[in-house]
Amino acid sequence: MKDDLTLDKRFAANRSASLGNGQISSDYSALPSDYQIQFNQPLDKFSSPFADAFEVIQRGSHSDKKMYALLYDRRFPVPFQTIEVMQQAQSNNLVSVFDKGKVIDPQTGDERFAVIIEHPPGVLLSELFPKAMPFEEKVVMRKMIDQLSNA
């Protein structure tokens, strides 16, 4: 019962810390300086209305991995709890979350919350198929199975 109460308190703290009021929880420190976010190299395919994606160069333990940073928009809640669960998850079926922390956006001077994520392997499904072509289900499934079996 005590563990459930602790989990409930952590969940409540994460929920209140993630309000989209332009503030970032003081529970989070600055992103380590060994991650260099390439603000001049945006990644539109990983961006969303809630976060901007940029290439990252990292020195140190994960320097052999290709990674990018998601910088969350201050107007929206940051999914802190989901990020922490993803960072702890160890699976071949999920991309790795390497680190997280506060950064200063050089374009606006605003403090933003950043998450450093491994580039997903492969290509986007939209890149596999021409946009103007209708597909039969078996064609799509064959293409996807071929990609998965080659992974």
Positive or negative: CA dihedral 126, 129, 130, 134: negative
pLDDT confidence of residue 148: 77
pLDDT confidence of residue 58: 84
Instruction: Kindly state the DSSP code that residue 79 receives in the 8-state scheme.
Output: -
Kind plus residue range of the DSSP H or E element containing 53: strand 51-58
Instruction: Kindly state the DSSP code that residue 48 receives in the 8-state scheme.
Output: B
Joined together, the tokens standing for residue 87 give 């960072």
Predicted structure pTM score: 0.67
Please give the chain's pLDDT, 151 residues, in tens. 344 333 334 444 444 344 455 556 666 788 888 889 999 999 999 999 999 999 999 877 666 788 999 999 988 888 888 888 888 988 887 888 999 999 999 988 989 999 999 988 877 766 766 665 666 777 778 877 887 777 6
| Residue whose pair of structure tokens reads 């200063």 in the numeric block | 104
pLDDT confidence of residue 2: 41
pLDDT confidence of residue 63: 66
Pairwise CA distance, residues 96 & 65, whole Å: 10
Pairwise CA distance, residues 58 & 63, whole Å: 5
Kindly report the length of the chain: 151
Positive or negative: CA dihedral 129, 135, 137, 139: negative
pLDDT confidence of residue 49: 92
- Residue 144, SS3? helix
- Among residues 123, 114, 95, which one has the least CA distance to residue 39? 114
